[in-house]
Amino acid sequence: MAKIAIFPGSFDPFTKGHLATVARSADLFDEVIVTVMTNTSKQALFTPAERVALITEATADLPNVSVQAHAGALTVDIARELHAGFIVRGLRNASDYTFENEIALANAKLAPEIVTVLLPTRAPEQGIASSIVKEVATFGGDVTDFVTPNVAAALRQKMGAANDKTQTD
């Protein structure tokens, strides 16, 4: 039986840290489905379709990785729908561990047949957070250390008007 994992998140934007987690997951599982979710507590910069396209391009060299958008559903329900036995989550620090462990415990109660795998982020990607990337991009900063080239270009395009305004104020 194939080992299928989902890697859920809002991915707004998709970072090099996310990519590292996907690549590590692709080594561990037969199939990895990056599931673009809606985070109701965040204001999205990119539409779900834009995020799917950006992630698909960034993961193009990983043949066992696919990308789908899923809105308005529990992660465990999506995992079941996709026949995934695993949910992958990346951990940058102790705060992430506390938060992700609480979610993993809730998911285990909701779907005991699905295993949550917490992957610690390696040193080069530890400080990368989508919210920080958006903040840097908002003020015209260089985000190339944090995101793939296609995401950096999309951020420049999205933030172009905002950057022009901040430079003339």
Distance CA 53, CA 57 (A): 6
Neighbours of 126 (CB within 10 A): 14
Distance CA 13, CA 131 (A): 8
List 16, 18, 51, 70, catalytic entry: 18
List 10, 16, 70, 130, catalytic entry: 130
pLDDT in tens, 132-141: 899 999 898 9
Annotated active-site residue 92? The verdict is: yes
Do 34 and 65 touch, CB atoms closer than 8 A? yes
pLDDT in tens, 63-108: 999 999 998 889 999 999 999 999 999 998 888 899 999 999 999 9
Annotated active-site residue 89? The verdict is: no
List 3, 42, 83, 122, catalytic entry: 42
List 66, 80, 92, 158, catalytic entry: 92
The structural domains of the chain, ordered by start, are: 4-126 (3.40.50.620)
pLDDT in tens, 144-159: 999 999 999 999 998 8
Host H or E run for residue 8: strand 4-9
Instruction: Note if the pTM is more than 0.85.
Output: yes
